[in-house]
Structure 1
Amino acid sequence: MIHRPSRLHFAETHKVTDVACGYGFSAFAVDSKEHQLFGTGINTDSQIGYHAVRRGHPLGLLLAPVPISRFPPVHSSKGGQKSDRVAGLAAGRAHLLVLMASGCVYSFGSNHYGQCGHPSSAAKEPHSLYLPHCISKAPDGSKFLSVECGQDHSLFLSDQGEVWACGWGADGQMGQGDTQSSWKLKKAVGDLQGKRIIKISSSADTILALSEDGEVVGWGNNEYGQLITHNPTPQLSTPTQLKFPSKVGRVKDVAAGGSFCLLTNDSGEVFVWGYGLLGLGPSADHAKEPVQVPPTLFGAGVFQEQPRVTKVAAGLSYSVAVLANGDMYSWGHNSLGCLGLGHTKDQSFPMKVAVGAEVVKVSCGVDHLLALCKPFV
């Protein structure tokens, strides 16, 4: 176990542009003409590509980053071919989504619930599990701009600001008003209609979508009240706009954990709700509506006059906040040291992580965390 931030030797020889944490595996997008994608960790479902010692016997565990399948060139409007590049990553329990600059998405790994966007053919063609599947565009012809993975479902944001989903749907993750699973991409409906979505967040079975107007729509698992519904239903299968008190203000970023959610607004304040170690102290483990995390816990009056949180992220049972100056704070369950605080004790309020660099992006896995950084100027 690694209890504190440790720079990966892999990043010293490769220019990493994006990262994604799955359940026991990691993926890295690299700015390179030869190999653009690397992965390491658990590979039992070929979520890091095939990597066979001999045909039909893929490696189940990779101890260091290795190249994942190359991607074919894309056809240009002039009739020729040009190389594509990795533009974004997302990882679930045992599957990986790779967004290319062209807008197409490649899916790897487990497809038991259709989360890779195609019918499961493992019974007839076992080797189909080892091949990346290409989703070239949304069913309506629109281009994909970003991707997100829950445990066993996949989410796609189109250039029309619409959300498409596939995979496990027992908690309503498809956003169709039912609890059916689907390998076919379906456009989430409900209160998403008429809104232009700019971000989707899901680490388990709860989903939050942020609109360009600062509104938040949620659906999926609601067992702990993380979707703030007056009707206490354990599943919310129709995307519903969350009603926040006026003190929350305009929302700038959101994150959905396993049993809780958090957000930051345009003033850089952080609000949390749901169930778990919310960052409000050891005795505050449940909030029915958003409660502000005191700014002093992010260094107000100590490190700076008024800290501004610009990004939030969540794993199943822990949270992360990134300040405008690149500092990172973490809190939550920490039995495997994923908070990077140098120990394995649970953390009931935000604590600054000694990263030693400016944090650009954070990806939270179930038991580990990756922070993409650049040196402080």
Structure 2
Amino acid sequence: MREGERHVAKISSAACGYGFTLMASSTKDVTKLWGMGLNKDSQLGFQRTQHSRSKIRAGLLLPSSPLRYIVITETPDSVFSCFFFPGLGHHNISSCPVEVGGDLAGVEVQQISSYGDCSLAVSRDGQLFGWGNSEYRQLASVSESTQINSPRRLPLKGCGKVVQAACGGTQVAVLNEKGQVFVWGYGILGKGPKLSESSSPEMIPSSLFGRSEFSPSVAVVQIRCGLSHFAAVTDGGELFVWGKNVRGCLGIGKRDDQFFPWRVTVPGQVVDVACGVDHMVALVKSLL
């Protein structure tokens, strides 16, 4: 993973953006983030110069990556942002990471997600915070405005304690401590063709992720969003996808859009998954 060196590092996480990819490699001493691809808008977290155009840079681990800006965590209770709609309380462009405030000030953050022009953060006590664009009602629980330039706490009724959140281009999803998935926004949300828009969380039945009287304990442990599609991983290592199937990005063996969660056949146990604009990457543990 280093230029001019034979150096092999295990990939612990990967994330896909619009024309760029981020990968995390871990050793016992340090975790590094490797970025490659487009950086004309500082997507990789550093100012683009002629000299650095083709360089691979190391940085901090991101849970997910966006289209036009990045949000990173450096310490358990700090969130930094750069480029466009960064949640800094103004609408100016920032090409270097700056700590965000608003309702997140003093809050211990355990996970962040960003995509398109919207960002979400989950606190360690299970609360959800959001900022950025809300054209598709992603942040309608706190404002009718289509733009929120500072983090706000989002009151979610009936969702319980949130442990993970995911942003898409027009839709968002959260996962609670019981392994239940809630979705809202605009697009194919996963509850059939009749539900294409919602400003409040809609729970996807756990039975669509494999829970039944024979497997009553099945739970979702990871949730991800792409530009217009979703992915979820269960505690059994199964991968479920739904949404717009642009260029076959869902991996379900057909080109049709998927209106309900569909289990993807994968040769192994899925450990992690990342969703891009029109592609998806899964980290799989072999069963052999």
TM-score, structure 2 as length reference: 0.88
Cα shift readout 1:205-243 (whole Å, capped 9, x = no counterpart) = 211111111111111121001123343211111111111
Secondary structure of the 1:297 match is helix
Shift of residue 318, structure 1, vs aligned partner: 0.6
The corresponding residue for 1:94 is: 19
| 1:276 corresponds to 2:187 | yes
Bigger-Rg structure (1/2): 1
Matched residue, 2:52:
128
How many angstroms does 1:34 deviate by? Answer: 2.2
Alpha-carbon spacing, 1:296–1:96, altered in 2? closer, same or farther (3 Å):
closer
User: Residue 152 of structure 1: which of 58, 68, 79 is its match?
Assistant: 68
Give the alignment of 1:226-375 within 5 angstroms: 226-245=138-157, 247-301=158-212, 304-375=215-286
Evaluate the alpha carbon distance shift between residue 334 and residue 303 of structure 1 in structure 2; reply closer, same or farther with a 3 A threshold: farther
- Given that 1:147 and 1:157 are in contact with CA atoms closer than 8 Å, whether structure 2 keeps it comes out as no
Native 8 Å contact 2:13 2:272 kept in 1: no
Specify which of 98, 102, 115 is matched with residue 43 of structure 2: 115
Q: Matched residues in 2 for 1:326 and 1:147: separation?
A: 19
Change (3 A) 1:371 1:114: closer
List, as ranges, runs of 4+ consecutive aligned residues in structure 1 with deviation greater than 6 Å: none
Question: Corresponding residue for 1:165?
Answer: 81
Secondary structure, aligned partner of 2:53: helix
Output the aligned Cα RMSD: 2.5
Q: 2:118 aligns with which of 206, 216, 223?
A: 206
1:97, CA displacement in angstroms? Answer: 4.3
Aligned partner of residue 307 in structure 1, secondary structure: coil
1: distance between equivalents of 2:246 and 2:25? 35
CA distance in 1, matches of 2:12, 2:234: 24
Distance in 2, Cα, partners of 1:235 & 1:177: 11
Letter in 2 for 1:129: R
**Which residue type is aligned with residue 219 of structure 1?**
W
Q: Percent identity?
A: 34
- Stretches of structure 1 that go unaligned for 5 or more consecutive residues are 1-28, 38-84, 136-143
Provide the rounded CA distance (Å) in 2 between the counterparts of 1:146 and 1:269: 23
Q: Unmatched 5+ residue regions in structure 2? A: none
